[in-house]
Amino acid sequence: MLRYTVRRLGQLLIVTVVLSVLLFGWLRALPGGPVSALLGERATEESRARLVQQLGLDQPLYVQYWKFVQRAITGDFGVSTGVQPGTPAMEVFLQRMPATLELSVLALLLAVAVGIPLGYFAARRQGGWLDNLSITWSLIGVAVPVFFLAFLLKYVFAIEFGVLPASGRQAAGIDATHATGFFVLDGVLTTEWDAAWNALIHLLLPAIALSTIPFAVIFRLTRASVLDVVEEDYVRTARSKGLGAMVVRGRHILRNAMLPVVTTIGLQTGALLSGAVLTEQVFNIPGIGQALSLGFQRQDYAVLQVVILATAMVYVLVNLLVDLAYAAIDPRLRTR
């Protein structure tokens, strides 16, 4: 297991280097560049030349890249010029990251908590009403765009019926302590239960909207995996030995069916982080998705750098954890 983990960490390092090179080259190829973003389109040639020299943009690309890596390691990505002018880009990211993680974690929990059990029971009752209804529901979840579903949920439950909040992370009148930036967790840690509940109900609509695609993927893969595993010889052998139904279902069917599902859950993390851009815009959640959108609109290259690189790193780390979990479930991978 140790050798497997070290090998995966080496691959993680290679992926990180490739990502940094791609990000460095892509941002410098964008129209306008950082000089126009900082000085504006009406800046004089003298001021442009002076800023180019100050930023080191007149140096060879490999020198610029090495300085970029050195600054990135220390967390220095520059100062925001559009999202939160004058604020260090890393600080912008750290301020907004809890909102996106809180939303993404709840969305993933909803998708897993509903998708896996529903996929399992739908497979056990293949062709029944539950199976047909679940497949239809999952198709709708994939087909309906996230932003449209977000607007629909907001209109029905927030505007028409008024049972859930329409936007934001917490009601304005709530006097809560925000030590970590995770509003639900802060409320629990400080035993401010009203604040925790208020933050949770603010998350419900955006989390439901964001969870629809991961739910559909997890449900369909769980159902297909269970149907495949049920027909395996080792399942029939376990039953012929007289093992209890719970043992057969848990140890032999569900555990083996979870192998592709675990991988898919890790891959869906990236989809959640990218889908959060639209969801946060609809529900006015100040997360990294909204920061990314504003960064493109206002050409805030410093914020774009840290958000894209950090989001990619989170995605890579989650997939590393998924690989380790996969190896824990299937011991055969540890010896490869």
- pLDDT at residue 242 in the model: 72
pLDDT in tens, 43-70: 677 776 776 777 676 778 788 888 888 8
- pLDDT at residue 336 in the model: 55
Distances (CA, A) of 306 to 120, 192, 278: 40, 33, 19
Tokens of 50: 């002076």
pLDDT band at 330 (very low <50, low <70, confident <90, very high): low
**Residue 155, pLDDT above cutoff 90:** yes
CATH code for the structural domain at 89-166+209-335: 1.10.3720.10
Tokens of 258: 């979870």
- pLDDT at residue 318 in the model: 78
Other C-beta atoms lying within 10 Å of the C-beta of residue 5 = 14
> 297 with 82: CB under 8 angstroms?
yes
pLDDT in tens, 17-31: 888 888 888 777 766
Q: Is 230 helix (H, G, I), strand (E, B) or coil?
A: helix
Q: Where are the alpha helices (DSSP H) in the chain?
A: 2-29, 33-39, 45-55, 61-73, 89-124, 129-143, 146-153, 183-189, 193-230, 233-240, 245-247, 255-283, 288-297, 301-329
- pLDDT at residue 229 in the model: 80
Tokens of 222: 């769980």
Q: For 230-238, which contacts have Cβ atoms below 8 Å and span 24 or more sequence positions?
A: 230/123, 232/256
Say which residues have a Cβ less than 8 Å from residue 92's Cβ, sequence separation at least 6: 80, 83, 84, 291, 303, 306
What CA–CA distance (Å, rounded) separates 107 from 206?
A: 8
Say which residues have a Cβ less than 8 Å from residue 54's Cβ, sequence separation at least 6: none
- pLDDT at residue 321 in the model: 79
> Alpha carbon 72 to chain centroid distance?
21
- pLDDT at residue 32 in the model: 60
pLDDT band at 206 (very low <50, low <70, confident <90, very high): very high
Q: Is 86 helix (H, G, I), strand (E, B) or coil?
A: coil
Could you please report the per-residue DSSP string of 15-58?
HHHHHHHHHHHHHHHSSSHHHHHHH-TT--HHHHHHHHHHHTTT
DSSP state of 332: G
- pLDDT at residue 144 in the model: 86
What CA–CA distance (Å, rounded) separates 253 from 237?
A: 12
Report the largest interatomic distance among the alpha carbons of the chain, rounded to a whole angstrom: 85
| Lowest-pLDDT range of 83-87, 89-93, 160-164, 237-241 | 237-241
Half-sphere CA count of 26, side-chain side, radius 13 A? 11
- pLDDT at residue 37 in the model: 60
- pLDDT at residue 153 in the model: 92
What CA–CA distance (Å, rounded) separates 43 from 47?
A: 7
Place of tokens 């029944």: 128
